[in-house]
Amino acid sequence: MAKKTTPRPEDHVKQGSRPSDLRITDIRTCTVGWEHWRFPILRIETNQGLVGYGEVRDFASKSYALMLKSRLVGENPCNVDRLFRKIKQFGHHARQGGGVSGIEMALMDLAGKAYGVPAFMLAGGKFRDKVRMYCDTPNEPTGKAMGRKLKERMARGFTMLKMDVGIQPLIGKKDTLAHPKGMLGTDTGDEHDLMFDVHTLQHPFTHVRLTQKGIDQIVKYVADVRATVGAEVPIAADHFGHIGVDDCVRLGEALEPFNLAWLEDLVPWQFTDQWVKLERALKTPVCTGEDIYLLDGFRDLIEQRAVDVIHPDLATSGGILETKRIGDFAQQRGISMALHMAGTPVSTMAAVHCAAATENFIALEHHFSDLPYWGDFITGVPKPIIQNGYIPVPEAPGLGFEINEDALREHVVADDPGLFEPTTQWDKERSWDRLWS
């Protein structure tokens, strides 16, 4: 008599593929953009037809991702952490972290699809069902104009905002800035020189100083914003300009009556001692992190409690799992995490999964609320993607969306045409990658 087999729960689990046999076969890219923006989108292909999508940081080179192809083809994409450790040595701060970070997003997309679970489950599960978005707003000529623009964002449901507040509107205005002759390009009137000269130097080395008149004008700008939008909505401030730490303290103290959510990127992130000085001197929270790669890059700022808010960008910081590690490390020291984001819905949705899985998360940035076709690049998620100031966390496998190739094709940049074309030129790229002998 045949022995009766007891049914097992795992026998009824649906598998979209055989993960143990899954192998990477190719990595391809396309670059989309508008105005001056550029976004390399990457696709990892496999032997079972599953594909995973990621995004290299805005303005970064797709080569940062493609150089990793020969190190990944033949590997099982479900081994996300092992592959991340294999390639993370090829990333760096700012845009140079974009290749590794974009690859990690695509690996998480593939692993989730292979096991039939959303990416946030691979990161340990979720703390929230929807992710708060905060709406970035570039320069407006006056505080009243900025206030009106922010009111428009509030009417769309955004419950947290950010504005640019800095020295840019003061350039050329009499007695508002003191600086070495030629440092701001104002002697020639050449706007390109202005942007190029000051942005090639880090803040402590420009010796651009705010006069009291300059501070008063910035204070009036922010006062007009608050008078327009009210006192209750959180408003963060960014893009202060290349001024030194002492002037940042003077300006920060002058802005304290307006109860800003945080002051962002006042000085370069590398100068931890200057951030300590700012955090101790100001009663407004300070924030930095969009250009920092890996937890190792954040460690000093967090351990010294040099900031009140860390601000990684998933497309620089190392992808979903590494950014969750950063957030968890900050949480142990009483520091919260917001996420910087100026990308397409591909990287945005990757950030949504990370935000869902990280307890001390505040809000995720959205940079393109005035771009009508921003949400067209993906399908399979509720539209509009941002609903009353939030993005619902997808429950579909992987990152939870499908790519809309027609929309991508409409916005492929002219100097990098094509849509996920073969990349055989990267097949045999090799080097001796060991970090020790």
Q: At what angle do helices 320-331 and 345-356 cross, to 10 degrees?
A: 40
Mean of pLDDT values over 259-267:
97
Question: Distance between alpha carbon 366 and the CA centroid of its chain, in Å?
Answer: 9
pLDDT in tens, 127-181: 999 999 999 998 899 999 999 999 999 999 999 999 999 898 898 899 999 988 8
Give, for 41, the enclosing helix (H) or strand (E): strand 37-46
pLDDT in tens, 271-303: 999 999 999 999 999 999 999 999 999 999 999
Please report, for residues 175, 204, 376, the alpha-carbon distance to residue 172 in angstroms, rounded to integers and kept in the order given. 9, 21, 41
Q: Give which of 314, 252, 258, 255 is closest to 279, Cα–Cα.
A: 252
Assess whether pLDDT exceeds 70 at residue 192.
no
Model pTM above 0.85: yes
Q: Are 57 and 101 in contact (CB under 8 A)?
A: yes
Q: Are 229 and 154 in contact (CB under 8 A)?
A: yes
pLDDT band at 264 (very low <50, low <70, confident <90, very high): very high
Assess whether pLDDT exceeds 50 at residue 57.
yes
Superfamily of chain region 130-399: Enolase-like C-terminal domain (3.20.20.120)
How far apart (Å, rounded) are the C-alpha atoms in residues 238 and 209?
Answer: 18
- pLDDT score for 195: 44
Assess whether pLDDT exceeds 60 at residue 15.
no
Mean of pLDDT values over 87-101:
97
Q: Are 327 and 302 in contact (CB under 8 A)?
A: no
pLDDT in tens, 205-222: 889 999 999 999 999 999
* Between 308 and 14, the higher pLDDT residue: 308
- pLDDT score for 4: 57
pLDDT in tens, 21-30: 999 999 999 9
- Contact partners, residue 189, CB within 8 Å, separation at least 6: none
Q: What is the DSSP letter of 171?
A: T
Assess whether pLDDT exceeds 60 at residue 187.
no
Domain boundaries, the chain: 19-118+406-426, 130-399
- Which CATH entry fits the domain spanning 19-118+406-426: 3.40.350.10, 3.30.465.10, 3.40.462.40, 3.30.390.10? 3.30.390.10
* Between 63 and 185, the higher pLDDT residue: 63
φ, ψ dihedrals at 339, nearest 5° = -115, 125
Assess whether pLDDT exceeds 80 at residue 405.
yes
Kind of pairing between the strands at 209-210 and 177-178: antiparallel
pLDDT in tens, 312-331: 999 999 999 999 999 999 99
Assess whether pLDDT exceeds 80 at residue 417.
yes
What DSSP string runs through 218-231?
HHHHHHHHHHHH-S
- pLDDT score for 193: 43
pLDDT band at 182 (very low <50, low <70, confident <90, very high): confident
Assess whether pLDDT exceeds 80 at residue 333.
yes
Assess whether pLDDT exceeds 80 at residue 368.
yes
pLDDT in tens, 338-367: 999 999 999 999 999 999 999 999 999 999
Q: Where are the alpha helices (DSSP H) in 159-232?
A: 191-199, 212-229
**Mean pLDDT in the chain?**
93
Q: Are 289 and 85 in contact (CB under 8 A)?
A: no
Q: What is the DSSP letter of 358?
A: -
Strand partners, 309: 287, 336
How far apart (Å, rounded) are the C-alpha atoms in residues 101 and 314?
Answer: 7
Q: Are 50 and 106 in contact (CB under 8 A)?
A: no
Neighbours of 365 (CB within 10 A): 23
Please report, for residues 51, 73, 371, the alpha-carbon distance to residue 47 in angstroms, rounded to integers and kept in the order given. 9, 10, 37
| Alpha-carbon dihedral sign for residues 239, 242, 245, 247 | negative
How far apart (Å, rounded) are the C-alpha atoms in residues 406 and 427?
Answer: 27
Kind of pairing between the strands at 161-164 and 378-379: unpaired
How far apart (Å, rounded) are the C-alpha atoms in residues 138 and 367?
Answer: 9
**Rounded to a whole number, what is the largest CA-CA distance in the chain?**
100
- pLDDT score for 189: 44
Q: Are 94 and 136 in contact (CB under 8 A)?
A: no
pLDDT band at 436 (very low <50, low <70, confident <90, very high): confident
